[in-house]
């Protein structure tokens, strides 16, 4: 199914960024200076691609249909599972941002700890979250939603994507991902 395949591809991009985050944090632990500008780019990617662009489609389109059409189990899985984790991800990113700003003004070790804590918390959370979606939530949706509903999800996702393309969202953030992946390669 188009929408689910697309969202699984987006997960792969988010996991690449998570690898960048982990490599940048390991660099700090090994004594490298904190590159504030690069961490700001990671935050931008997490907020605008992983959250707004990807979680946006989940929350406004796919998960919405699941809670509307699939009853109590779906409601529990989405409202008390996936959406809570999206919120927790936002919290980790705002903690990372706060520590980054503190570090910029006053480069103390305690703020480095906050940067590594927020970034690693986000990385671990999203890794588990993506695994659950790829292996359980999306499969549940594909199996349980009717072909008509799946077709309407595809249609809504196509128009969401088109609108994002008009604003060069995918192009902009995949270029940032490419740049950061080259700068913080896997070890
Ligand atoms: Fe999600
Ligand atoms: Fe997702």
pLDDT means over runs of 10, the chain (187 residues): 97 98 97 97 98 98 98 96 98 98 97 98 98 98 98 98 98 98 91
What is the Å distance from ligand 1's center to 129 Cα?
6
Which ligand number lies closest to the CA of residue 134? 2
What is the Å distance from ligand 2's center to 42 Cα?
17
Task: Give the residue among 89, 96, 135, 90 at the shortest CA–CA distance from 117.
Answer: 96
- The per-residue pLDDT for 4 is 98
What is the Å distance from ligand 2's center to 37 Cα?
26
- The per-residue pLDDT for 186 is 83
What is the Å distance from ligand 2's center to 7 Cα?
6
What is the Å distance from ligand 1's center to 128 Cα?
10
What is the Å distance from ligand 1's center to 101 Cα?
27
Which ligand number lies closest to the CA of residue 88? 1
Cα first-last separation, the chain = 34
SS (H, E, C) the chain: CHHHHHHHHHHHHHHHHHHHHHHHHHHHHCCCCCCHHHHHHHHHHHHHHHHHHHHHHHHHHHHHHHHHHCHHHHHHHHHHHHHHHHHHHHHHHHHHHHHHHHHHHCCCHHHHHHHHHHHHHHHHHHHHHHHHHHHHHHHHHHHHCCHHHHHHHHHHHHHHHHHHHHCCHHHHHHHHHHHHHHHCCCC
- The per-residue pLDDT for 59 is 98
Q: Please, which residues have CB less than 5 A from ligand 1, an ion?
A: 58
Which ligand number lies closest to the CA of residue 8? 2
Q: Please, which residues have CB less than 5 A from ligand 2, an ion?
A: 133
Distances 118 to 68, 100, 152, 167 between C-alpha atoms, Å:
34, 10, 37, 29
What is the Å distance from ligand 1's center to 180 Cα?
23
């Amino acid at each position: 199914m188009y929408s689910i395949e697309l969202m699984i591809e987006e997960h792969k991009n988010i996991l690449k960024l998570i690898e960048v985050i982990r490599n940048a944090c390991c660099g700090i632990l090994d004594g490298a200076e904190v590159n504030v500008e690069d961490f700001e780019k990671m935050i931008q990617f997490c907020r605008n691609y992983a959250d707004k662009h990807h979680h946006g489609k989940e929350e406004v389109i796919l998960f919405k249909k699941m809670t509307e059409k699939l009853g109590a189990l779906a409601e529990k899985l989405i409202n008390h599972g996936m959406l809570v984790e999206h919120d927790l991800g936002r919290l980790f990113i705002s903690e990372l941002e706060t520590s980054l700003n503190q570090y910029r003004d006053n480069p103390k070790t305690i703020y480095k700890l906050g940067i590594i804590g927020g970034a690693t918390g986000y990385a671990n959370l999203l890794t588990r979250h993506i695994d659950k979606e790829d292996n359980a939530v999306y499969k549940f949706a594909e199996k349980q939603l009717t072909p008509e509903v799946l077709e309407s999800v595809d249609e809504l996702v196509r128009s969401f994507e088109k609108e994002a393309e008009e604003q060069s969202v995918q192009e902009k953030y995949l270029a940032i991902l490419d740049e950061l992946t080259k700068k913080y390669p896997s070890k």
